[in-house]
């Protein structure tokens, strides 16, 4: 059975990290390179999340409820670190707004 709620991840000892990474065109670059506006990664406290959101809070909604404290953006990526799993298998949240936007902007065939 797939893990679907915050409470389940907390029970299983998962860790959760949120990352804000975005850039804007650098006005001083002749090659239109991006200027990193924010690159912030924070380890979130699972117990606090469960206390504030509830045991049955769906994992795919977590990303939409977070906001970067540095820049105020809500375009965050949420990563779940599963104990005993190598970093390469870290589970990326399926509710990522950035990937959803990319998918919807693709032309349909």
Residue 33 touches Zn ion, criterion: CB under 5 A: no
Taking CB under 5 A as the criterion, the residue among 11, 56, 70, 100 binding Zn ion is 70
Burial 67-83 (b: 16+ CB within 10 A, else e): ebeeeebebbbbbbbee
For residues 90 and 88, give the distance between their C-alpha atoms in angstroms, rounded to a whole number.
Answer: 6
Size of the site for Zn ion (CB under 5 A): 7
For residues 2 and 9, give the distance between their C-alpha atoms in angstroms, rounded to a whole number.
Answer: 10
Taking CB under 5 A as the criterion, the residue among 71, 94, 98, 101 binding Zn ion is 71
Residue 20 touches Zn ion, criterion: CB under 5 A: yes
- Residues binding Zn ion (CB under 5 A): 20, 38, 40, 68, 70-71, 73
């Amino acid at each position: 059975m797939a893990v679907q709620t915050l409470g389940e991840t907390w029970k299983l000892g998962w860790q959760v990290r949120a990352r804000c990474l975005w850039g804007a065109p650098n006005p001083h670059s002749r090659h239109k390179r991006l200027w990193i506006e924010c690159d912030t990664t924070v380890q979130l406290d699972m117990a606090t999340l469960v206390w504030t959101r509830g045991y049955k809070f769906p994992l795919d909604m977590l990303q939409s409820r977070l906001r970067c404290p540095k820049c105020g953006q809500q375009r965050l990526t949420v990563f779940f670190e599963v104990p005993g799993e190598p970093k390469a298998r870290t589970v990326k949240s399926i509710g990522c707004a950035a990937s959803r936007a990319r998918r919807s902007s693709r032309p349909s065939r």
